[in-house]
Amino acid sequence: MNQEIRVTNYPEVLTDRASHYCPGCHHGIAHRLVAEAITELGLVDKTILIGSIGCSVFIYNYLSLDAIESPHGRAPAVATGVKRARPDKIVFSYQGDGDLASIGMAEIMHCANRGENITTIFVNNTVYGMTGGQMAPTTLVGQKTTTCPGGRCRENEGMPIRMTEIIASLGGVAFAERVAVNNIKNIKKAQKAVTKAFECQTKEIGFSFVEVLATCPTNWRMTPIQANKRIETEMIPYFPLGNFKDVLAKEEK
């Protein structure tokens, strides 16, 4: 007889409702990682979510936290205001690659450089998902999008930006890691990284940043399985996974 066994539960902060994300989209996994991290660290009661503009604009429907919506790209500035007003709270922004690495480049750089005790979850899917898959600063060379139909070309559009490496180079940063959620092994690592990032915030040692390499099957014109494979075959070779800065680990040594 087949029996349904529940293999996992909803962390208390993750709402039990159907999401608006496309099948195979990694935003949902990234949400869950955040939910698990703040639940594990016992921070749910004191966490404030800074939303951004992109497919994750409705993140407040999935994480039951006090939340504020930011203009496109400005989440790190909004987060700075919230954290300065409420230094005893846990504050994190959740942003896509168009939001963070293009229009919001100034805000993320200076927030990180000031060493604000804030955590940023950066979901890099190499396109502007919500607006229909246009080219992002992270679009890979040769990748076709609706605004680079012939494929991104280095001569015209430049090279894709590697944010985690840039963020790690800034003085105010305590933690910077790039993760993927395309398989169990990577998800486990991602979970550790997100938890560590929030831990840095509780210890007030500076800005913490986790880049999540994510699928956008819809705009990549791929099936979820093909999209998942593309993370491994195309994205990770250009956006290497790993930790680029960990002040905590250094201190522990």
Ligand X SMILES: Cc1ncc(C[n+]2csc(CCOP(=O)(O)OP(=O)(O)O)c2C)c(N)n1
- Footprint (CB under 6 A) of ligand SF4, residues 24-63: 25, 27, 55
Binding mask 44-63 for ligand X (x = CB under 6 A): ---------xxxx-------
Is the Cβ of residue 127 or residue 179 nearer to ligand X in the bound state? Answer: 127
Q: Does 82 bind other proteins (CB under 8 A)?
A: yes
Binding mask 70-109 for ligand X (x = CB under 6 A): --x-----------------------xxxx----------
Look at residues 86, 82, 150 and name the one whose alpha carbon lies nearest to residue 111. Answer: 82
Q: 74: which 2 tokens?
A: 């400005």
Q: Distances from the Cα of 157 to the Cαs of 80, 135, 140, 151, 160, in angstroms? A: 31, 9, 10, 10, 9
- Footprint (CB under 6 A) of ligand X, residues 112-131: 123, 125, 127-131
Least CB distance to other proteins at residue 187 (A):
26
Angle (CA) 40 54 22, round 5°: 80
Least CB distance to ligand X at residue 130 (A):
4
The one segment of 17-25, 42-50, 165-173, 192-200 that binds ligand SF4 by CB under 6 A: 17-25
Q: Does 28 bind ligand X (CB under 6 A)?
A: no
- Footprint (CB under 6 A) of ligand SF4, residues 63-122: none
Q: Using CB under 6 A, which of 52, 119, 125, 228 touches ligand SF4? A: 125
Q: Distances from the Cα of 59 to the Cαs of 20, 27, 28, 50, 54, in angstroms? A: 10, 9, 9, 9, 10
Residue 233 and residue 243: Cα distance in Å, rounded?
A: 20
First-to-last CA distance in the chain? 52
Q: Does 228 bind ligand SF4 (CB under 6 A)?
A: no
Q: Does 216 bind ligand SF4 (CB under 6 A)?
A: yes
Least CB distance to ligand SF4 at residue 188 (A):
22
Residue 162 and residue 160: Cα distance in Å, rounded?
A: 7
**CA trace torsion 86, 51, 138, 29 (10° rounding):** 110
- Footprint (CB under 8 A) of other proteins, residues 28-47: 44-47
